[in-house]
Amino acid sequence: MIPGSNNDHPSFRKSFLFAIQGFRTAVRTERNIKVMIGGGIGAIVAGFVVGLDPLSWAIVLVCCGVVISAELLNTAVETVVDLVSPEFHPLAGRAKDIAAAAVWILSVLVAVVGIIVFANAIFF
């Protein structure tokens, strides 16, 4: 719904299609989302190679989804910041850096979880 508009919300189907459109746009235009998807695919392939148990699969898949979602949110934050502050402003840069830092911290923690899950599958 657009603020100040009397139009109803789009249908569930339209909302779903908007989400798909947003995902496609991010994949086409953002390098980091491609890196995150590639990492997720690598983790899934590695899971098949080492024969993960169901709980480990759940952990790996949730971690992949959370990192990709965080990167999408980071992209959205950066896009909005660019919209409202087309010229350089220190606060705009700070907002973008903090959003990127959130994804970086999450990625580091997910990597640690991945090491634990795959070490458990390989050695125990």
Q: Are the C-beta atoms of 51 and 121 separated by less than 8 Å?
A: yes
- Those residues with Cβ within 8 angstroms of residue 15's Cβ, 6 or more apart along the chain or in another chain: 9
Catalytic amino acids? 71
Residue 27: closest CA among 95, 97, 75, 94: 75
Could you give the CA distance from residue 61 to residue 120 in angstroms, rounded to a whole number? 16
